[in-house]
Amino acid sequence: MGIVYLAIACGVIAVLYGLVTTAQVLKAPAGDAKMQDIAAAIAEGARAYLGRQYRTIAIVGVVVAALVAWFLGPISAAGFALGAILSGVTGFIGMNVSVKANVRTAEAARTSLQGGLTMAFRSGAITGMLVAGLGLLAISVMFWGLLTLGHYDLSVGEDRRVIVDTLVALAFGASLISIFARLGGGIFTKAADVGADLVGKVEAGIPEDDPRNPATIADNVGDNVGDCAGMAADLFETYVVTIGVTMASIALLLPNADHLFQLMTLPLLVGGVCVITSIIGTYMVRLGKGSIMGALYKGFWTTVVLSIPAIYFATQYVVGDMNALIGGSTALGDSAFLTPAAAVGATTITFTGMKLFWCMMIGLALTGVLVWITEYYTGTNYRPVKSIAKASETGHGTNVIQGLAVSLESPALPTIVISVAVVACYQLGGIIGIAFGATSMLALAGMVVALDAYGPVTDNAGGIAEMAGLPDDVRHRTDALDAVGNTTKAVTKGYAIGSAALAALVLFGAYTTDLGIYFPDIVVNFSLSNPYVIVGLLLGALLPFSFGAFGMTAVGRAAGSVVEDVRAQFRDNPGIMAGTSRPNYARTVDLVTRAAIKEMIVPSLLPVLAPIAVYYIILAVADQASAFAALGALLLGVIVSGLFVAISMTSGGGAWDNAKKYIEDGNHGGKGSEAHKAAVTGDTVGDPYKDTAGPAVNPMIKITNIVALLLLAALAAG
Amino acid sequence: MGIVYLAIACGVIAVLYGLVTTAQVLKAPAGDAKMQDIAAAIAEGARAYLGRQYRTIAIVGVVVAALVAWFLGPISAAGFALGAILSGVTGFIGMNVSVKANVRTAEAARTSLQGGLTMAFRSGAITGMLVAGLGLLAISVMFWGLLTLGHYDLSVGEDRRVIVDTLVALAFGASLISIFARLGGGIFTKAADVGADLVGKVEAGIPEDDPRNPATIADNVGDNVGDCAGMAADLFETYVVTIGVTMASIALLLPNADHLFQLMTLPLLVGGVCVITSIIGTYMVRLGKGSIMGALYKGFWTTVVLSIPAIYFATQYVVGDMNALIGGSTALGDSAFLTPAAAVGATTITFTGMKLFWCMMIGLALTGVLVWITEYYTGTNYRPVKSIAKASETGHGTNVIQGLAVSLESPALPTIVISVAVVACYQLGGIIGIAFGATSMLALAGMVVALDAYGPVTDNAGGIAEMAGLPDDVRHRTDALDAVGNTTKAVTKGYAIGSAALAALVLFGAYTTDLGIYFPDIVVNFSLSNPYVIVGLLLGALLPFSFGAFGMTAVGRAAGSVVEDVRAQFRDNPGIMAGTSRPNYARTVDLVTRAAIKEMIVPSLLPVLAPIAVYYIILAVADQASAFAALGALLLGVIVSGLFVAISMTSGGGAWDNAKKYIEDGNHGGKGSEAHKAAVTGDTVGDPYKDTAGPAVNPMIKITNIVALLLLAALAAG
């Protein structure tokens, strides 16, 4: 149990880091009265939106919790509730830190770029450490509670099942809330952003964040509820699902392993030590002679490098001899999936601690390579962004064509490196190896979220600087910080979806294993030559496309209503444009709030209901074996096409955004040129791509998989 | 052999229809000297391009033919050459008819809409019947030749293998040429179109097809080489692959069936009778009180309705008693795939003629439903196009966002109905049932191509009318005809890709069967829980994305060079814009020709080389069983994501185009409004989507599958 206490201690350290750093942030000067006034309006709008969003989600959450309790029992329901509540709490804290830090970043940027960077990054680091810390605490405390307070015994089959079910239910709670938060927040932020741009920049010809634009507060609220709260909930989900499902898979696949407890706690300890390396990394983020991106990378790479020995010693501490064979007997599921050495029907699986360590190194390497690829596709120094900027010279059409070309091209390298990582991890440790690869990726979540969450803070700081009429050089500093934020945001999304691909494979492994446990008499033919498998793949691959369509339409529709509201305000109150009277910011915020919450419901339920519908429809026209085959194939179909849809949307969107920034830096005619207008169009198109539809695919993939697991459990119970 | 003679006779009738109708078209008045002058320039450019394209392809073709001869023998090489040459011939004839008919359509439209419609549709029908007729003749004459001249015997295993290999090689020849033709033509037509629009409409502010625009002849050449020749080659490929692979699959799966010869000739006879029903259908295309679309639909539905009894009697003629069991023993491949009744290891497969008839009815129904769905997504009367038009009011950005939303939404219904059709055909007749479903879809190819090929002729006629300064009402008539062409073009693409999904499943079935025949000792695990299967799916699903990226980039790059050339011509010769001197049309045509041919090579080779590369890489890191599993999964991955990429691109592009036309009809401010400008941007973006990248995915899917089959044969031989 010592390993679990160590993990809990690391989680507590992360939370303490968050509390101490929050106190530091709050101590910093919060600017003049006008700035505080604006910041208060943003904070008020963000709290109002998030409150309403969580109230709506709570209704769905209570219904689902009741269903979980009915089918899987009260302990699973408690796990679900814990995951759901903590996912919400993470988002809420992230938002609250962000709305305090924005105005302080603007104030700090008055004196220096370093000051603004420090303030914004600290705020991001708070969110990052809370995501990782709370995620780690949720799993480890729950695991500890089940074993000690609940007296469940890992060596007893029924008890093990309770532990597995509770881990899966915890993951489900986190995922369900996070898809709502990602999508609702994503719709809010992009509807406000696109609406504000269309009616402000394009129609009225006033700059971004001009206080005369009634949608400008809504735009800034969006940064907090979408890019900050939504993202935090999403990464919390990714963390909990990955670590939780790794543990659950070990329990399912190696029920009789000698080292079962140790193997299950290893992901917790790895998560724990990497929280510490992430905290150390945050102190390395300092502007030297290099760029802002360079300063952020110093922190990231410090964490990566320190994590290598940390993971090694953690593994050694858990397994003892790194070269001794560990593992045990298994006879469940399709054992060819477990390890390459095991033929179908094999009854033992073994690997060494060293092999698991190498799998985790592959996870770290994959993270590094994905970061680099994303930077290549979205950074202003490379061909893709430059090609979009150049294509802007010949107009809106060629800008969008080139952007779509980059978007379609962007999944190629990530897919190849993910494939290499999957094969390498598999050859080292079978599906358990893949799970550990995913675990080490997610262990870095604290640092990655810190890099990401800093972006919306600087974006807000820029907005406050503009609205409060601070000197131009302050705005220049916040703009410089913000441009880097575009790349770090894309990096996080690429990282989340890459890890999701690995985690989803592990979930699929759990599905096939569970199938063997629950329905030992049904022979499910998962062969590609089973037409129900093909139909399942097709329908699964369809989900991310339909989901993306919902997201894009929602943003378009909500943005349209923003445009109409702002036009009406300009028409009814001519004093606004003259600068003599204040626009009704709250009305626009309220409008976007209602639109976003209304639009998020149906698409969020799509991945929950689709697996259930496909199972019952195929059951009706064929038999249960075919229905299970189609359902399993649906899970893989979602992963396969989800990976492409998500990467192409997030990389493409980031590239469009930075192509605009590249032109604004004075290339191809600079601000106000025809090329710039075309680039603004591309940026607008990329907005819902990268911040609404694309990132929400990540929780969507996992929900589909988790729902399938729960469906199996419910069918077996009922 | 009587059935084969009947099929040959039907093929000859189709060719005769083409010759007679060509004579009719040529007899019609070809307009005044100016019109003929313009038409001659277009024809010259089209012939020059196509000649150069075919010379380039010939180099690749000769190399591949040599490889086929080396690995699979001279008879297969002859099949390959026949497929390749006829694919080229089809495209060449289609283009030649089209460049004669365009000026005659413009002349006929001087007097009446009916006159223009008749002339354009006749020209389309010539291409349509030649596609179906030559396709049918290619397969049936080759089959006849092998059996009679070659004395190959279907009841002898080695002889059967020669027949199967030759059918596959024939399909390969057709596919390889058609991917080059589709992509090369697609790049040409859209580079010219986008380039002409950008520099003409957007920069110089002159209307489409204005004779002062140096790119306008190139734009009209593009309609002929892309939308006409490229499309004809593509549909010829689809026809030959579908019918050919249906026959090959029957020979592979039911080697010992009592009715083997009859079953193999049934697809030929079905193709034959449907050529006749298609010809009858063409005579029903007449404007009554209804719309132009209604007139075209009259022809289409006549063909569908007449085909029902025709297929019934053809089936009865071939099998005799419709309710008698036919089929035979099999022990090859994964027999669960063959028929739902057969458990793994079953040795006989039987079905009735009636069941095959119902499978073919499902194919016809699927065609009808796909046509309806495509019309819904691309027609101006329905929500999708109207929503894009409405979104244009708020600018370029929202137009593109809504267009992308429609694009992402559009694969949902087709995927669901294709899934339903796959399951239904499978339950009736296993994989053979799916093959017959695809066969009856393709049997309508003559009619469908006729509807499609009419479009570019009217587009050209409009261009000629504009350039020759014909009265406005002529241009209005050709515009009305052209608007319908947008929908029929989208319909053909949806139809081709839908049938490709079915045909590709049959190809995958052939792959698994061949694997069992060639490598009986290797146990290939196609289960989704084999990580090499997952990696294969991922890499396969990647191909259409990367291919799409190549296509989009190629158009963007080539269009950019058109813009620069036109700008240079305007700058160097101010007389052009003044209307006093003639632009150098040939220079622009030549420029686009070189660009298109250069750009088509690499992406066309991607689907040829990818399966080979994946096989050898997985072989190197794992073993042969894993490599075969990854290769098989790659084939399905290409189908799954190719379906979505192709449908979303072709439907989305069609919707964008017609949203522009809808605005031009006077909605949302009409021509010249801000909404119209936004809609022009959307149209430009949709152009390479719907006419370059999207449609080329269809041959790409099949090439990947065919190359895998040939790789198996080569590995077995070597």
Cα pseudo-dihedral A64, A69, A72, A73, rounded to 10:
160
| pLDDT tier for residue B667 given thresholds of 50, 70 and 90 | very high
The answer to whether A567 faces chain B, any CB pair under 8 Å, is no
DSSP A527: B
Q: What is the pLDDT of residues B9-46, one digit of tens each?
A: 999 999 999 999 999 999 999 889 999 988 999 999 99
Percent of chain A with pLDDT over 90: 60
CA distance A274 to B85: 63
Residue B395 confidence (pLDDT): 87
Residues, chain A, total? 718
* Cβ contact, residue pair B545, A408, below 8 Å: yes
Residues of A in contact with B196 (CB under 8 A): none
Q: What is the pLDDT of residues B441-468, one digit of tens each?
A: 999 999 999 998 888 899 899 889 988 8
Residue B348 confidence (pLDDT): 62
- CA distance, residue B95 to nearest chain A CA (Å): 28
Residue B174 confidence (pLDDT): 94
**What's the first-to-final CA gap in chain B, in angstroms?**
35
CB pairs < 8 Å spanning A and B: 265
CA distance A538 to B641: 8
Percent of chain B with pLDDT over 70: 97
- CA distance, residue A577 to nearest chain B CA (Å): 20
The answer to whether A335 faces chain B, any CB pair under 8 Å, is no
Tell me which residue in A406, A411, A431 faces B542 most closely, judged by beta carbons.
Answer: A411
The residues in A 168-197 lying below 8 A from B, measured between CB atoms, are: 194, 197
* Cβ contact, residue pair B542, A412, below 8 Å: yes
Contact residues for B255 (Cβ-Cβ < 8 A; gap 6+): B157, B160, B328, B330, B332
CA distance B563 to B548: 22
Which alpha helices (DSSP H) does A379-471 contain, by range? 383-391, 396-409, 412-443, 445-467
Give the nearest chain B residue to A644 (CA atoms): B542
Contact residues for B151 (Cβ-Cβ < 8 A; gap 6+): none
* Cβ contact, residue pair A684, B398, below 8 Å: yes
| pLDDT tier for residue B347 given thresholds of 50, 70 and 90 | low
CB A320: neighbour CB atoms within 10 A?
Answer: 12
Distances (CA, A) of A673 to A52, A204, A676, A677, B516: 41, 17, 5, 7, 63
The answer to whether A685 faces chain B, any CB pair under 8 Å, is yes
The residues in B 261-300 lying below 8 A from A, measured between CB atoms, are: none
Give the nearest chain A residue to B641 (CA atoms): A641
Interface probe, candidates B396, B409, B651, B681, chain A, greatest A C-beta count within 10 A: B396
CB B290: neighbour CB atoms within 10 A?
Answer: 11
Distances (CA, A) of A352 to A249, B299, B408, B551: 17, 70, 46, 47
Tell me which residue in A423, A528, A535 faces B632 most closely, judged by beta carbons.
Answer: A528
Query: For the ranges A50-59, A203-212, A313-322, B503-512, which has the lowest average pLDDT?
Result: A203-212
The answer to whether B561 faces chain A, any CB pair under 8 Å, is no
DSSP A580: S
Contact yes or no for B487/B654 (Cβ under 8 A): yes
CB A354: neighbour CB atoms within 10 A?
Answer: 17
Complex confidence, ipTM:
0.92
- Please give, one letter per residue, the 3-state secondary structure of B524-593: CCCECCCHHHHHHHHHHHHHHHHHHHHHHHHHHHHHHHHHHHHHHHHHHCCHHHHCCCCCCHHHHHHHHH
Cβ-defined contacts of A580-584 (< 8 Å, 24+): A583/A211, A583/A212, A583/A213, A583/A214, A584/A214
CB B158: neighbour CB atoms within 10 A?
Answer: 8
Q: What is the mean pLDDT of residues A576-587?
A: 87
Tell me which residue in B512, B532, B683 faces A529 most closely, judged by beta carbons.
Answer: B512
* Cβ contact, residue pair B689, A419, below 8 Å: no
Residue B331 confidence (pLDDT): 44
Query: For the ranges A40-49, A120-129, A476-485, A601-610, which has the lowest average pLDDT?
Result: A476-485
Residue A341 confidence (pLDDT): 39
Residue A291 confidence (pLDDT): 85
Phi and psi based region of residue A128 (left: phi greater than 0; alpha: psi -120 to 50; beta: remaining): alpha
Q: Beta strands A348-352 and A325-329: pairing type?
A: antiparallel
The residue type found at A318 is V
Tell me which residue in A336, A621, A641 faces B644 most closely, judged by beta carbons.
Answer: A641
Q: What is the pLDDT of residues A644-702, one digit of tens each?
A: 999 999 999 999 999 999 998 899 999 889 899 999 999 999 999 999 999 999 899 98
Contact yes or no for A126/A282 (Cβ under 8 A): no
The residue type found at B525 is N
- CA distance, residue A579 to nearest chain B CA (Å): 24
CA A710 to chain CA centroid, nearest Å: 22
The answer to whether B500 faces chain A, any CB pair under 8 Å, is no
| Cross-strand bridge partners of residue A325 | A352
The residue type found at A75 is I
Measuring CA to CA, which residue among A714, A533, A513, A705 is closest to residue A628?
A533
User: Above 90 in pLDDT, residue A475?
Assistant: no
CA distance A653 to B587: 37
* Cβ contact, residue pair B395, A622, below 8 Å: no
Q: What is the pLDDT of residues B112-150, one digit of tens each?
A: 888 999 999 999 999 999 999 999 999 999 999 999 999
Q: What is the pLDDT of residues B330-340, one digit of tens each?
A: 644 444 444 44
Residue A338 confidence (pLDDT): 44
Residue A132 confidence (pLDDT): 96
Interface probe, candidates A377, A408, A628, A638, chain B, greatest B C-beta count within 10 A: A408
The answer to whether B209 faces chain A, any CB pair under 8 Å, is no
The answer to whether A641 faces chain B, any CB pair under 8 Å, is yes
Average pLDDT, chain A: 90
CA distance A299 to A294: 9
Residues of A in contact with B434 (CB under 8 A): 531
Q: What is the pLDDT of residues A92-117, one digit of tens each?
A: 998 999 999 999 999 999 988 889 99
Residues of B in contact with A689 (CB under 8 A): 404
User: Above 50 in pLDDT, residue A223?
Assistant: yes
Tell me which residue in A402, A434, A636 faces B528 most closely, judged by beta carbons.
Answer: A636
Cα pseudo-dihedral A414, A417, B536, B651, rounded to 10:
10
CA distance A126 to A107: 19
The residues in B 126-155 lying below 8 A from A, measured between CB atoms, are: none
Residue A328 confidence (pLDDT): 66
Percent of chain B with pLDDT over 90: 60
The answer to whether A670 faces chain B, any CB pair under 8 Å, is no
Q: What is the pLDDT of residues B692-709, one digit of tens each?
A: 999 999 889 989 999 999
CA distance A259 to A250: 10
Contact residues for B629 (Cβ-Cβ < 8 A; gap 6+): B524, B525, B526, B530, B532, B533, B536
Q: Enter the pTM of the model.
A: 0.93
Residue B27 confidence (pLDDT): 93
| pLDDT tier for residue A139 given thresholds of 50, 70 and 90 | very high
Residue A629 confidence (pLDDT): 93
